[in-house]
Amino acid sequence: MKKDAKISNAVIKRLPRYRRYLKELQKKGVDKISSNEFSSLIGYTASQIRQDLNNFGGFGQQGYGYNVEGLYNEISAILGLDKEYKMVIVGAGNLGQAIANHTYYYKAGFVVCGIFDINPRLIGLKINDIEVMDYETIVDYVEQNQIDIGIICTTKDSAQEVADKLCFAGVRGLWNFAPIDLEVPEYVAVENVHLSDSLHSLAYHMNRNYEEKEKAAEK
């Protein structure tokens, strides 16, 4: 990575997509790929791909392109996916249970170690062999087990208090599914997943595409 370079969030958000396509190429036995070939496959321009990767050193060779396995490993390291992360889920409702049961996270090095809730009817329940614990014990658990990531699946009203506790206990990142923007210390990373925002964006694109189709039909 270029020393002291500030990488835009837009570039970071494209890296997992690059990695995912590179993994598929590996499965097909592809050893190398040019930026133009990658462009045709992934949908970004070749120039965009080169610019994005140049933020971290480039990795390509003129006249050869990119080594698929090498680039996959480099992007994995840039994203920090060459490590394992311990996570806790706060909120054992439908969303929390779905995340706990999604085995992809475990395969990718994100391990759910604990699940917490305030509902007495849920405490003691086992989800994917993980027992739901009393939320009141979360600070001690996070500290003792050196948890890296807190996943917030609570209501909007509870989310900030949960975030405060998790930050106090020492997590380095929050994956927030509550419909609220959290206030956290600068050293804690936050990724907000506002499901309604995503659905609203989908509605916009659907309507825009329909309008463009109608205009084209009128010509």
Nearest Cα neighbor of 105 from 126, 90, 87 is: 87
Q: What are phi and psi of 81, to 5 degrees?
A: -90, 10
96 is in an annotated binding site: yes
> Are the CB atoms for 146 and 169 separated by under 8 Å?
no
**Environment class of 126 (CB within 10 Å of its CB; exposed 0-12, middle 13-18, buried 19+):** exposed
93 is in an annotated binding site: yes
* Residue labelled with tokens 């087990």: 145
192 is in an annotated binding site: no
Q: Output the CA–CA distances (angstroms, integers) from residue 31 to 63, 143, 208, in the order listed.
A: 14, 44, 39
Q: Is the dihedral of CA 126, 130, 131, 137 positive or negative?
A: negative
169 is in an annotated binding site: no
* Residue labelled with tokens 């014990």: 137
Rounded Cα gap, residues 35 and 97, in angstroms: 40
- Which residues participate in the annotated binding site for NAD(+)? 91-96
- Which residues participate in the annotated binding site? 91-96
